[in-house]
Amino acid sequence: MDHLQRLRTFVAVAECGSFARGARLREISAPAATRAVATLERHLGALLLQRTTRSLRLTEQGEAFLADCRRILAELDAAEAAVTGARHEPQGTLAITAPALFGSRHIAPLVFEFLDQHPQLQARALFTNRLVHLIDEGFDVALRIANLPDSGLTAVPVGKMRAVIVASPDYLKRQGTPRAPADLKHHRAIGFTIEGQDRTGWNFVRGRAAAAPQERLVVNANDVKVAAAVAGHGLARALAYQVTDEVRDGRLRVVLQAHEPPPVPVHLVYPAGRVAAAKVREFVHFAAEQLRALPVLQGRGLEAPRKAREAISATRG
């Protein structure tokens, strides 16, 4: 086995978390995979994988080396594809990442359909709320709901997402409907936090709220946040896609619409600097077309049901 194949074997074993599973992925025997990684470690003079009888984990040096290997192998695959013409037909493994809830609701169905269209293709998906570094972590495409900083990524716009505040009709009946950001000091709220990121304030189109609501509950999962709002535990900040169904069926109502901040741009991003492989180019084209048709990415989809609108009008009249 040459050095390049040892690198590919190390990546497979590290990603699978097992010599046996990594070997099957590489279509070699488990002992051959073990020898390949051991030879690589001797060549480097460093331990890459910490082995026990029950588990396998990367060492600190192994994590850094894995990121480098992913980047190098991706560049090599793209270079070979450009020469051989393979870049014209999607193949290999397409690695995709997206925010957890948006990924499960909107990206996963696209991946399923794309795989059906391209039988030679495999896919690896990571749906998480943390920021995934595409090159370092070996991903081809990401969906980002954010104002993008300048970077070495190619960004394809697919729409914009409203940031809204919602509450259940029962909560609003008990506590009253806020009419201005200053009213929030009289309300309870469900807070949201992402590991490794600071919690943001209650910002509005004209700046920060005069007084933030009392966050009696703080969660790190959007579905739990929405469920808590539906259960009447307070106001919740949400991106429109997170509460589309709940608003449509009347379980939640949008408040303070006149004070909403500008919609957040949504992009598909992928590493720039080289002609994209067919798997990336074709998926981005396919997914962008589908995503641009989503009402929630065009500022629609949060209309209250007719009965709810009539009830709101009656209370105001």
Residue 142 belongs to a domain with what CATH number? 3.40.190.10
Same domain flag for 201 and 247: yes
Lowest mean pLDDT among 2-11, 107-116, 134-143, 146-155: 146-155
With contact defined as beta carbons under 8 Å apart, do 298 and 159 qualify?
yes
Please tell me the total count of domains within the chain: 3
Tell the residue number behind the tokens 């990336």, with chain if given.
280
Tell me the whole-structure pTM to 2 decimals. Answer: 0.67
State yes or no: pLDDT of 39 exceeds 80.
yes
Same domain flag for 271 and 157: yes
For residue 36, the cross-strand partners are none
As to burial, measured by CB atoms within 10 angstroms (0-12 exposed, 13-18 middle, 19+ buried), residue 39 is middle
Alpha-carbon distance of 148 to 165, in angstroms, equals 23
What is the per-residue pLDDT for 272? 63
Mean pLDDT of the chain: 85
Alpha-carbon distance of 244 to 307, in angstroms, equals 17
What is the per-residue pLDDT for 133? 85
With contact defined as beta carbons under 8 Å apart, do 252 and 246 qualify?
yes
Same domain flag for 247 and 174: yes
3-state SS class at 85: coil
- 137: containing domain: 87-161+263-317
With contact defined as beta carbons under 8 Å apart, do 265 and 259 qualify?
no
With contact defined as beta carbons under 8 Å apart, do 225 and 236 qualify?
yes
Same domain flag for 304 and 216: no
Residue bearing the bigger pLDDT, 63 or 206: 63
Same domain flag for 156 and 243: no
| Own/partner long-range contacts of 111-117 (Cβ < 8 Å, ≥24 apart) | 114/282, 114/283, 114/286, 114/287, 117/286
Residue 65: pLDDT band with limits 50, 70, 90: very high
Same domain flag for 258 and 174: yes
Same domain flag for 290 and 178: no
- Closest CA relative to residue 186, chosen from 209, 207, 211: 211
* Sign of torsion over alpha carbons 254, 188, 263, 284: negative
CATH of the domain at 48: 1.10.10.10
- Domain C-terminal end among 262, 278, 302: 262
Residue 197: pLDDT band with limits 50, 70, 90: low
Residue bearing the bigger pLDDT, 126 or 312: 126
Same domain flag for 250 and 219: yes
Quote the tokens at residue 276. Answer: 């994209």
Question: Can you state the percent helix, strand and coil of the chain, rounding each to 5?
Answer: 45, 20, 30
Alpha-carbon distance of 38 to 48, in angstroms, equals 9
What is the per-residue pLDDT for 82? 64
Quote the tokens at residue 63. Answer: 């994590």
